[in-house]
Amino acid sequence: MALPVSSKRHGLALPQALHPLTNRNFSVFWLGAFLSNIGFWIQTVGQGWQVLQLTNSALLLGLVTFAATLPNIVLSLFGGVISDRMNRRYLLLGTQALYMVTATILGIFTTLHIITVWQIVLLALINGVFSAVGFPAWQTFIGDLVPQSELKQGIALNSMQFNLSRVLGPAIGGLSVGLLGIAGSYYLNAISYIAVIVPLFFMHPIIHQSKNKANISVWRGLREGLLYAKARPALQLVLLLQFMIAFFVFPYATLLPIFAGNIFHIGATGLGLLNAAAGVGALLGSILIVVLSQRMESKRSRTLLMSLCITGGIVSMLFSLIGSVNVALLLLIVLGASTVMVNIVTNTFIQSETPIEIRGRVVSIWITITFGIAPFGSLVAGWVAQMFGARLTLAAGGAICAFIVLLIVIWRLSVNLSFITSYRQKFSKK
């Protein structure tokens, strides 16, 4: 039986920030996505360990990650066009089913002891290609499940479940490798996709389509999305702020092994603590955004983004200079919170300020920046750290981010001040 579009759980009296969970479609999708994301992190841990066992090469380990993210650079903008043209539920059903198949293939190859690193790279690339279509559809599908008045809360809750899975998934992944082996990690991930596929199969949310959308070419649809962003300075500012923190601050995550091994001398266990602190910060940041989601108007969102970028830059500099592990853990909580909060606020701003008919294309610009272009910041950070050290690299990135965003704040204040002054002069003449 299909789940009705507006089905509600009338017996629940939740705070307004959690109100989208009273929508049966959204709550079932939220729970399924949470379980599926735990499966993703379980596979990520097992796969990383497997690549190291097969090759003992950090380069090839990075190549697997790069293969999965490379399509976002080339194809995400086109994925946004497809997301706006087609039924997003069908797109998600197709992509989730493909992820389940690739995870099963990796599990079978591992069980038969015929797995090679190049097979892992190839399947990661295939997943990346379909993610370029699936990710814009996934993000904008929230708007198909909840009314516009609850969109901000829905996006924030969706981000919260992902960050909660980010905290729990790797821990479960480490246990699964020990109990079930690496093949078990792949099988668990494959099974977890059922939690998303089954609800998607039965629900029939609202489909937002324009009448002449199917007659528009892909290139014209892509151009419409880019022109929409070009004509809106506020949107450009938000995307710039997202790029700044993603490119200059988020590479801290890539450099954590160097801090754990060569600076703090706390080994693999200590590295786990550093990553856990960043994950806890990300979860706390996403919960805070859920609480604040109702108050995030356009102007407040931009102010919050600038504050978070400056905070992230300053904390990144402090982390690079600190010598105490305990203080470093506290700073990582703030870093994890600030970077994730920027992601959520940017995503929320874009979707709430963009018409549903073009939302996939505009969201795909954010995806291209955040998950396509910005990861090159990690490559640059690794190269600079090789020559000048991790401390100086992280301090320089944080300083650049904080300084440029501070200049933007000063420029905006000067523009507003000049406008107020000219307005007063004009009024006084009258």
Residues 109 and 198 in one domain: yes
Confidence of residue 6 (pLDDT cuts 50, 70, 90): very low
Q: Provide the CATH number for the domain around residue 180.
A: 1.20.1250.20
CA-CA distance, 27 to 163, in Å (whole number)? 17
Residues 430 and 289 in one domain: yes
| pLDDT (tens digit per residue) in 279-337 | 889 889 988 888 887 777 767 888 899 999 999 999 999 999 988 899 999 999 999 99
Domain containing 118 equals: 18-205
pLDDT value at 79 more than 50: yes
Residues 163 and 255 in one domain: no
Contact 79, 364 (CB under 8 A): yes
CA-CA distance, 288 to 157, in Å (whole number)? 10
Residues 149 and 56 in one domain: yes
Residues 245 and 117 in one domain: no
The total number of structural domains that make up the chain? 2
Residues 297 and 173 in one domain: no
Residues 194 and 261 in one domain: no
Q: Is residue 4 part of a domain?
A: no
pLDDT of the residue at 195 = 94
Across the strands, what pairs with 8? 23
CA-CA distance, 103 to 189, in Å (whole number)? 7
Structure tokens at 369: 């920046």
Confidence of residue 2 (pLDDT cuts 50, 70, 90): very low
Q: What are phi and psi of 227, to 5 degrees?
A: -65, -35
Across the strands, what pairs with 203? 3
Q: What are phi and psi of 10, to 5 degrees?
A: -70, -20
- Secondary structure letter of residue 264 according to DSSP: S
Residues 248 and 121 in one domain: no
CA-CA distance, 364 to 136, in Å (whole number)? 6
CA-CA distance, 368 to 132, in Å (whole number)? 9
Is the pTM higher than 0.95?
no
What are the angstrom distances between the C-alpha of 422 and each of 233, 332, 411? 22, 45, 17
Q: Is residue 217 part of a domain?
A: no
Calculate the average pLDDT of the chain.
Answer: 83
Residues 163 and 49 in one domain: yes
* Percent of the chain residues past pLDDT 70, beyond the cut: 87
Structure tokens at 192: 């977890």
Structure tokens at 338: 């600030």
| pLDDT (tens digit per residue) in 190-216 | 999 999 999 998 887 766 555 445 566
Contacts of 394 (CB under 8 A, 6+ apart): 251, 252, 255, 316, 317, 319, 320, 381
Three-state SS string over 297-355 comes to: CHHHHHHHHHHHHHHHHHHHHHHHHCCCHHHHHHHHHHHHHHHHHHHHHHHHHHHHHCC
DSSP per residue, 345-394: HHHHHHHHHS-TTTHHHHHHHHHIIIIIITTHHHHHHHHHHHHH-HHHHH
pLDDT of the residue at 1 = 40
CA-closest candidate to residue 282, choices 386, 163, 194? 163
Structure tokens at 404: 């440029």
